[in-house]
Structure formats: C-alpha cells, structure tokens
C-alpha cells in the first residue's frame, strides 16, 4: 500500500460554450466492413451485414459510425486501394444496399461517415492505366518523374521513402518514368496539381453526399501534396533504423505541405456549398506530440475533428500519469480558439487493440478517459466488448505491411491482429458469419468474450461502455472545467466541475499496488461520492458510496465518481 500525503500538478482548463452540432461530446464508432458482419456467408463482412446490425450501434447510443472503404478495389490493401471512387465493390454489395443502409441509419438517428481516400488510387484504376499511356488528361493524374542516372545506373528521382518502407518511387517500363507512392507500389499517389483530377475527387465527394452521407473521414491527408522541387529530404542523425525506414527522414517536403491545407479548405467549401445539413470532416493526420501544430492547422482549414492519436501512438503501458497529463494538456491548450471540438481516438484498424497496448486489465481505461474529457471519443468496433488482438501465424497473415516484413518481423508490423471478426455471440464464427472459414480467423476467445454474453453480465466492458456514452452527454462533461492531476506520478485524475454542482472525478491507479490518499482534501471534492462506473467490481460496485477522504485504489483500477 502506498499512502500519498501531498499532491502535484494541477491544471485547470475552462471549456468553451457548447455548440449544437450533432457530433459535439459524443462517441463516434469505426466500422471495418470486412469484419463487422457477413450477411451472405462468404466469410467477409458486407454492407447488408452492417445494416443488419445497426440496432447495436443505436443501442450503444453512439452518434455516428465511420466505415472504412467499401469501394471498388483489387483489395491489395483491403479497400485502401480504390479502382473506382464512386462504386461499391461486389464483395461488399451494391449501391442499392448502401441506400438501404442510409435509410435504416437515418431511422435510428445514426449518422453515416464514409472514408474518403484522396492521396492515392489503386494501380488498377483506369485513370492510372491511362496515365501510363500518357492519355490526356490522365497523363497528369499521378506524380511522374524522370529517372536520375548515377554511373549509368537508373535511380529514383530523390531519396523519398514510402510509409511501407523502401523508395517511394517505382519505375514504369511503358511510360519510362518513375511514379510516386507514399504507400505501397500498388497505391500510386494522385496529383492534385491537375485541375481535372481535383475536379474528379470533388465529384466523388458530391456523389456520396447526394446519396445521404453525413460526412467524411479523410484518409492519409498529410500526404496529399509534395513539394514540387522534389528535393531530397534531410536524413535524421542516429535513428538506429534501417536505411529504408521512413522514420530515418525528416519529411519536410512530403508531409503537411501548405497546399494540403488549402486542398482541405477547398473540400470544406465544396461540402458547405451543397444542400442539407453541414457535413462533418475528420482528418487522419498522425502527428507526434511535438508536431501538434499540424493537427491544429487541419482544424483551422476545415476539419471538425483532426484525429488526435496520442492514446494510440504516443502512450502505452509504460506511460506515466504525467505523460498523459502533459499530452492532454498540450492538446487542449493548443486547440485553436473558437468553436472547435477536441477528440480522443482510442483505437483503429491500423494499430494493436487497446488491450494489447495497455493490458487486458486496462482495456476500458482509455474509453473512460475519452468519456470524461471534453470533445469526441472515437472508438473502433470491438472496443465496447474489450476485444483483444488475435495471434495469427505468418501463413495466416494477409495485411500487405505484415507480409512485406517477412516471417521474422511480420508480428511487429501486421495490422491483422486488430482486424479479426466482431464477436457477436458464441455460435459459429462468433455469429459474424455462417461460414466456418472467415477472411481472418475469429479469435478463439469468442466462446466467452462476445457481445451476447456481456449483455447479461454486470460490469462487462459492454455495460461500462454504455455508461460512458451516457456520461458524455451530461452537462458537466459538455461545459465543466477540466482539471488534470497527476498524483506523484502514480494516480491519474480528471475532475470536471460546473460551479455550484457536484463534480465528476475519474481516478486511475497506474501502479500495480494499492494506493491510498485523501482525495477529498487534495482534489477539493465532496467527502461522500458514489461510484458511477468502475473497471473492477472487486473493488467497487456501481452506486456504492465512497468516503473520498480515505480512498483506496487497488492496482490498475479506474473508477468514475460522481
Ligand atoms: C491510412 C489507412 C490505412 C491504409 C493507408 C493507405 O493510413 O488508415 O489502413 O493502409 O492509409 O491508404
């Protein structure tokens, strides 16, 4: 037992006045369509499957869901390699199926957000095939450059490296030029300096908006433009990384370019000029804690939510309360002045699941933090039931980034473990499919870890999640002051209060031992509070009354008091 007698690190932020936009202070849920629900027994999730399960999202009370790409695609990157931006891949269904999804979502008061992938297309897109042949105007739809020759050996135009490792340039024999790809060679970068291409992509936004969507998540936006001088990027000293690793370069010419922000603004204006309610824009803009200014600029240029990935990429199981405190305070302090909403991404399809990053025992903590902080919480399918990463062998691996890494290293880079089918119940293939074989193997823990079981179990991840969604709608979360406190780097606390009313307090014990302290005194909270939600019923039960002047937190516990 560790008894704390003093307090460090208090920080107070006053939230701005709430606004009426529907996404404010709600949870938004990501659906990965291959893995949500299979309606036709082919082992791959599809649009009708999603439609059949919308009641689940309505039951969770999330405001919206965003769907990873279901557009026509050779599926080399499982949909992030699009060969037609305005059609649906037959694996997922038809435009008619999509209309049914929209109609049902509207009837359940759920907003629908699509994934817009503007940085690149598939190399199988007819535009690219015509670009190779220099057919006007497609000749200019992609970024083509001549080779450089060193001692008569052909070399790429510069040292740029792709996110998936190795040169960002691939030689094309027919065109006798290199094309740029920030991701895999089968995902050639689109050239937004072509006005014809620019127009095509705006048409894609209009196409889906007219079909009733409520907004877009913009994929990989930071890569949209590259500096047109095509200069080598500086090599960072002493990274200790292999020379083909993108993190060896300082990406001053290939990421977050001024024209990228202008492009975002043009999409904002384009969507605003369309009829109907305002469309939400969420940008996938990964930044380190040192580069949050980029995220803030995406807000200023038209994003309603510039995804905040700090819980996913900057923190993990070895982070301390002060790391969380500093990161969160930094984000809140940097948020542009005005009517903007902060956001907290808990999980997504590109990273290990939260229970793998923070430990199973801490599976609900990030969602609790996201619920208590002001702004939008962004969760990924399965978070609501604490789904875990699935171990898959190299032979079972299908993610191109995992496959490229080879049998020795695939487990470090593969994104498959976090993409296995949703675990609905304990029937065949976890109720995801009638097929015993699914595109990725179902996690064998589904017999016990599934939604149906959690619905009948008190204190399940599901029941906590539902309480957190309710909490997010409370006025104190929308309007209260925010105090973020680290108690001698062992306990992390968030206090939200509206003067004259009772506060809400989240406490997380980051240590593996009991910690006791006089929370009433140190946090200036009432002596008598009750448990609203807890990650451990061994320690607390809902509604239990707590004497905060002698609070004892068991190892790794998180609890919300009100
Ligand atoms: C984004 C997506 C990721 C995809 C990549 C290329 O980062 O989230 O899944 O592989 O873009 O489109």
Q: For residues 328 and 293, is the Cβ–Cβ distance under 8 A?
A: no
Instruction: Assess if residue 406 is contained within a domain.
Output: no
Residues 495 and 360 in one domain: no
Domain count for the chain, please give it: 2
Residues 480 and 380 in one domain: no
The pLDDT of residue 318 is 95
Looking from the CA of residue 80, the nearest atom of ligand 1 is: 12
Q: Write out the E strands in 297-395.
A: 305-306, 343-345, 376-380
The pLDDT of residue 276 is 85
pLDDT band at 168; cut points 50, 70, 90: very high
The pLDDT of residue 315 is 97
- 539 pLDDT above the threshold of 90: no
Most distant CA pair in the chain, distance: 80
Which ranges constitute the DSSP H helices of 137-245?
195-210
Q: Which of 400, 431, 466 is the last residue of a domain?
A: 466
Phi, psi (rounded to 5 degrees) for 431: 75, 5
Q: For residues 84 and 71, is the Cβ–Cβ distance under 8 A?
A: yes
Average pLDDT of span 498-518 = 94
Residues 459 and 551 in one domain: no
Q: What 3-state DSSP class applies to 361?
A: helix
Average pLDDT of span 476-489 = 95
- 13 pLDDT above the threshold of 60: no
pLDDT band at 468; cut points 50, 70, 90: very high
The pLDDT of residue 12 is 56
Integer Cα distance of 216 and 269 in angstroms:
14
In the structure encoding, which two tokens stand for residue 328, read together?
A: 């969160």
Residue nearest to atom 7 of ligand 1 (CA): 220
Tell me, in angstroms, the distance from the centre of ligand 1 to residue 79's CA.
9
The dihedral formed by the CA atoms of 390, 50, 386 and 536, expressed in degrees to the nearest 10: -160
Residue 117 Cβ inside 6 Å of ligand 1? The answer reads yes
The pLDDT of residue 335 is 97
Q: Cis bond leading into 137, ω under 30°?
A: yes
Tell me, in angstroms, the distance from the centre of ligand 1 to residue 97's CA.
25
pLDDT band at 222; cut points 50, 70, 90: very high
Query: What range defines the domain where residue 484 resides?
Result: 2-8+476-561
Q: Which residues contact 254 (CB under 8 A, 6 or more apart)?
A: 160, 168, 182, 223, 226, 227, 233
CATH code of the domain covering residue 484: 2.60.40.1180
The pLDDT of residue 11 is 55
Burial class (CB in 10 A: 0-12, 13-18, 19+), 45: buried
Residues 54 and 77 in one domain: yes
Percentage of residues in the chain with pLDDT exceeding 70? 97
Give whole-number Cα distances, 408 to 353, 357, 395, in Å. 21, 21, 12
Residues 212 and 289 in one domain: yes
Point out which residues pair with 384 in neighbouring strands: none
Q: Write out the E strands in 199-346.
A: 215-218, 280-283, 305-306, 343-345
The pLDDT of residue 314 is 97
The pLDDT of residue 536 is 76
Strand order in the sheet with 2-4: 2-4, 515-517, 551-553
The pLDDT of residue 15 is 52
The pLDDT of residue 8 is 47
Integer Cα distance of 506 and 522 in angstroms:
14
Average pLDDT of the chain? 95
Q: How many CB atoms lie within 10 A of CB 137?
A: 15
Integer Cα distance of 157 and 174 in angstroms:
17
- 417 pLDDT above the threshold of 70: yes
Residues 345 and 456 in one domain: yes
Could you tell which of 168, 181, 219, 404 is best to mutate to test the pocket of ligand 1, judged by most ligand atoms within 8 Å of the CB?
219
Integer Cα distance of 98 and 211 in angstroms:
9
Percentage of residues in the chain with pLDDT exceeding 90? 93
The pLDDT of residue 3 is 57
The pLDDT of residue 6 is 46
Supply the residues annotated as catalytic.
219, 284
Looking from the CA of residue 350, the nearest atom of ligand 1 is: 9
Determine the Cα angle at 322 with ends 526 and 382, to 5°: 85
**Residue-wise pLDDT tens digits, 250-307:** 999 999 999 999 999 999 999 999 988 899 999 999 999 999 999 999 999 999 999 9
Average pLDDT of span 74-83 = 98
Q: What 3-state DSSP class applies to 343?
A: strand
The pLDDT of residue 266 is 98
Q: Write out the E strands in 435-513.
A: 481-487, 491-497, 504-509
Instruction: Assess if residue 132 is contained within a domain.
Output: no
The pLDDT of residue 77 is 98
The pLDDT of residue 342 is 97
Integer Cα distance of 157 and 231 in angstroms:
9
Q: How many CB atoms lie within 10 A of CB 175?
A: 15
Q: Which of 466, 500, 528 is the last residue of a domain?
A: 466
The pLDDT of residue 275 is 85
Residues 206 and 292 in one domain: yes
**Residue-wise pLDDT tens digits, 551-562:** 999 999 999 999
Looking from the CA of residue 348, the nearest atom of ligand 1 is: 8
Average pLDDT of span 363-392 = 98
Residues 462 and 523 in one domain: no
In the structure encoding, which two tokens stand for residue 86, read together?
A: 């305005």
Residue 219 Cβ inside 6 Å of ligand 1? The answer reads yes
Could you tell which of 220, 282, 286, 380 is best to mutate to test the pocket of ligand 1, judged by most ligand atoms within 8 Å of the CB?
220
């Amino acid at each position: 037992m560790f008894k704390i007698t003093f307090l460090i690190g208090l920080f107070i932020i006053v939230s701005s006045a709430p606004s009426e936009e529907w996404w404010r202070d709600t949870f938004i849920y990501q659906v990965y369509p291959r893995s949500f629900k299979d309606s036709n027994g082919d082992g791959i999730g599809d649009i009708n499957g999603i439609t059949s399960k919308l009641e689940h999202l309505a039951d969770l009370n999330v405001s919206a869901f965003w769907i990873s790409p279901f557009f026509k695609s050779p599926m080399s990157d499982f949909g992030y390699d699009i060969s037609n931006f305005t059609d649906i891949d037959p694996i997922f269904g038809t435009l008619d199926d999509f209309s049914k999804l929209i109609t049902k979502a509207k009837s359940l008061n759920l907003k629908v957000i699509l994934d817009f992938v503007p940085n690149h297309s598939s190399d199988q897109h007819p535009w690219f095939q015509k670009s190779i042949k220099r057919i006007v105007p497609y000749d200019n739809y992609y970024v083509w450059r001549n080779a450089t020759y060193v001692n008569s050996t052909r070399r790429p135009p510069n040292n740029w490296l792709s996110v998936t490792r190795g040169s960002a340039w691939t030689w094309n024999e027919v065109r006798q030029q290199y094309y740029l790809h920030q991701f895999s060679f089968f995902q050639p970068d689109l050239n937004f300096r072509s006005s014809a291409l620019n127009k095509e992509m705006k048409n894609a936004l209009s196409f889906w908006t007219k079909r009733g969507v409520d907004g877009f998540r913009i994929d990989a936006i930071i890569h949209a433009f590259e500096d047109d001088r095509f200069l080598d990027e500086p090599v960072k000293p002493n990274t200790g990384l292999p020379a083909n690793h993108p993190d060896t370069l300082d990406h001053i010419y290939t990421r977050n370019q001024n024209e990228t922000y202008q492009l975002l603004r043009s999409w904002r204006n384009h969507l605003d000029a369309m009829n109907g309610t305002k469309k939400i824009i969420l940008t996938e803009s990964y930044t380190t804690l040192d580069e949050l200014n980029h995220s803030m600029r995406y807000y200023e240029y038209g994003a309603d939510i510039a995804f905040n990935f700090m819980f996913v990429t900057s923190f993990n199981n070895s982070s301390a309360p002060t790391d969380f405190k500093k990161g969160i305070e930094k984000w809140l302090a940097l948020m542009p002045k005005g009517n903007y909403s902060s956001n907290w991404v808990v999980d997504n399809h590109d990273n290990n699941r939260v229970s793998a990053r923070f430990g199973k025992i801490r599976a609900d903590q990030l969602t609790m933090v996201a619920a208590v902080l002001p702004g939008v919480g962004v969760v990924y399918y399965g978070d609501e039931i604490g789904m875990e990463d699935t171990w898959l062998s190299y032979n079972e691996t299908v993610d191109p980034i995992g496959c490229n890494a080879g049998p020795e290293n695939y487990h470090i880079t593969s994104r498959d473990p976090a993409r296995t089918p949703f675990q609905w119940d304990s029937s065949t293939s976890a109720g995801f499919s009638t097929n015993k074989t699914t595109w990725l193997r179902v996690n064998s823990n589904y017999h016990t870890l599934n939604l149906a079981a959690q619905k009948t179990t008190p204190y399940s991840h599901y029941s906590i999640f539902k309480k957190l969604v309710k909490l997010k709608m409370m006025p104190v979360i929308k309007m209260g002051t925010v105090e973020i406190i680290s108690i001698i780097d062992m306990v992390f606390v968030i206090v939200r209060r509206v003067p004259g009313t009772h506060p809400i307090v989240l406490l997380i014990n980051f240590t593996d031992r009991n910690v006791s302290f006089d929370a009433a005194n140190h946090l200036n909270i009432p002596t008598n509070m009750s448990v609203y939600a807890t990650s451990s019923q061994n320690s607390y039960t809902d509604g239990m009354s707590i004497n905060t002047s002698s609070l004892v937190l068991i190892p790794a516990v998180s609890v919300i008091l009100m």
